Amino acid sequence: MPKYSQVFLKDVRMCERIASVLEPVNFVSAVEIGPGRGALTEFLCTLWGDKLSVVEIDPLMTNRIKEKFPGLRVNNSDFLALNLEASFPAGPVAFIGNLPYECSTAILMKVLAFSRFGAAVFMFQREVARKITAETGDSDYGYLSVAVQAQSEAELVADVPAGSFSPVPEVDSSVLVFSPRQTFPDAEKRGRFLGFVKNAFSHRRKTLLNSLSMGLNIDKAEVEPLIKAAGFDPRLRPQNLSVKDYLKLSIVFSGGK
């Protein structure tokens, strides 16, 4: 049986605070990802009732949750392997969870790409949370900042010290709430934009001209006029462009599509 690296939130007040961020009336269903021992689940069950389901990868924890919360819909699955479109009823879906550190950003990106994503309240390692919410020019501002902020509005709910967990991790955590932004009309445009931004930050210490040239494997002589056509100085660093700037620049590089 595989071993799952988990830390469990034990701070009851924090569990209550996380559970109360979203209003159940605004969503058709809610999903808790990785309920673990069920500390947060207890509050979510009270607030969401039969709208709530949980996804837990660990079979042992799955059985404990089933015993503790009879009647709760429990899916013993890897969330990253789920077909979200086929898993939930029509209408906006809320996602909540103390995410595993090692796959938290992958889970977030999957949720943001879901067509019926209504909102999310997620716990991250504090360093990751800072990258997600970083502003243009910040040292933490990078691909993750642009990718997430292009698709959602992310706000800090609370910082959570390491002592709030069992076992105690080596890092502090932060809770963020996400609401959707209707930036991309389809998955193709979203994917094209994310790929472009990833290439732009592939060599973040270099100029935008050099980073895009190297990331896209295109000669600088072709890249420079495109950057200028979008109204930007090719000598800027990737972290100097805002999310809106990247949206504009990516359209120019994709031929206006």
User: What does the pLDDT read at residue 93?
Assistant: 98
Q: Please answer whether residues 238 and 211 qualify as being in contact, where contact means their C-beta atoms are separated by less than 8 angstroms.
A: yes
Give the angle 189-179-31 at the CA atoms, nearest 5°: 100
Q: Is there a contact between 38 and 69 (Cβ–Cβ < 8 Å)?
A: yes
- Amino acid 204: pLDDT: 87
Provide the pLDDT for residue 5: 58
- Look at residue 176 and give its three-state secondary structure: strand
pLDDT tens string 44-100: 999 999 999 999 999 999 999 999 999 999 999 999 999 999 998 889 999 999 999
- Residue ranges for the chain with pLDDT beneath 50: 1-2
Domains of the chain: 8-180 (3.40.50.150), 187-253 (1.10.8.100)
Bridge partners, 120 (sequence order):
95, 178
What pLDDT score was predicted for residue 257? 66
Cβ pair 206, 49 in contact under 8 A: no
The label of the residue with tokens 């805002």 reads: 242
Cβ atoms of 45 and 52 within 8 Å: the answer is: yes
Amino acid 4: pLDDT: 57
Find out whether 201 and 142 touch, Cβ atoms under 8 Å. Answer: yes
User: Taking the model in full, what pTM does it have?
Assistant: 0.94
What per-residue confidence (pLDDT) applies to 1?
A: 37
Phi first, then psi: give them for residue 49, nearest 5 degrees.
60, -135
Are residues 46 and 70 in contact, defined by beta-carbon separation less than 8 angstroms? Answer: no
Q: What is the pLDDT of residue 242?
A: 98
